[in-house]
Amino acid sequence: MSGQGLFDFVDLPEWEQAAADDVQVAEVVFNLPLQQPWSYLIPDEFRPLLLPGMRVRVPLGRGNRNVAGYCVRVHRSESPVRRLKSILEVLDSTPLLDSRMLELTEWLATRYLCSWGQVLESVIPAGVKRKAGTRLVQGFLLAPTAEERLRELRLPPGQQAVVDVLRKASFAIPAAEICLQADCGPGPIRGLRKKNLL
């Protein structure tokens, strides 16, 4: 008697197989007594951002409680038909741990019979997790229309020095660095901003 058994696999259409092969998965551990990493789907917008050693926010458990965890691995899905929950947010711009530190913390978790997430939580300083000591710094570039407008304007020496510094820049420069290079105070920068040149 021939026929499909209950657990026989059905070949997926080619387009569906290609989509399934392109699924990226993150293995995430938590500061909870859970022994195995949990798998989460990496949404397309997070693919270029997420690396092992970063923290992520994910839904955990039946109640989908929002919990922060540590991404320890990124790979293609080995079981594309399984439905995975998606990562909600990437919390860090750079990894807090490199591959050697991840390997060491995994070994510590095995050696001392605790979860990998608990070890990670204990080795990363609280200040790093709170982003203590970090701040946003405003940087300046010449406005796209500045060169055209500068032909018509006669600038004071301080403002002209700032413009000369920014003409050489290929990326935004913090105000303190501009003042240092132009040998001026913040006044010329304020003046150029009022003229919409920055």
User: In a 10 Å sphere around its CB, with 0-12 CB exposed, 13-18 middle and 19+ buried, how is residue 88 labelled?
Assistant: middle
Same-domain status, 64 and 159: no
Residue 144 within a domain: yes
Same-domain status, 33 and 103: yes
Helix (H, G, I), strand (E, B) or coil at 114: coil
Same-domain status, 175 and 97: no
Range of the domain at 40: 14-129
- The secondary element (H helix, E strand) that includes residue 198 is none
Threshold 0.85, pTM exceeds = no
Supply the pLDDT for residue 54.
Answer: 92
Supply the pLDDT for residue 1.
Answer: 42
Residue 182 within a domain: yes
Domain end (from 129, 162, 183): 129
Domain count of the chain? 2
Tens digit of each residue's pLDDT, the chain (198 residues): 444 444 444 454 554 444 455 688 999 999 999 889 999 999 888 888 899 999 999 999 888 899 999 999 998 876 654 678 999 999 888 899 999 999 999 999 999 889 999 999 999 887 777 765 555 667 889 988 888 888 888 999 999 999 999 998 888 888 888 988 888 888 899 899 888 898
Give the DSSP letter of residue 46.
G
Report the candidate in 18, 73, 63 with the shortest Cα–Cα distance to residue 40.
73
Domain end (from 89, 104, 129): 129
Same-domain status, 57 and 152: no
Residue 99 within a domain: yes
Q: Which residues pair with 38 in a beta bridge?
A: 28
Q: Phi-psi category of 92—alpha, beta or left, where left has phi over 0 and alpha has psi -120 to 50?
A: beta
**DSSP calls for 130-173:** TTTT-----EE---TTHHHHHTT----HHHHHHHHHHHT-SS-E
Same-domain status, 23 and 120: yes
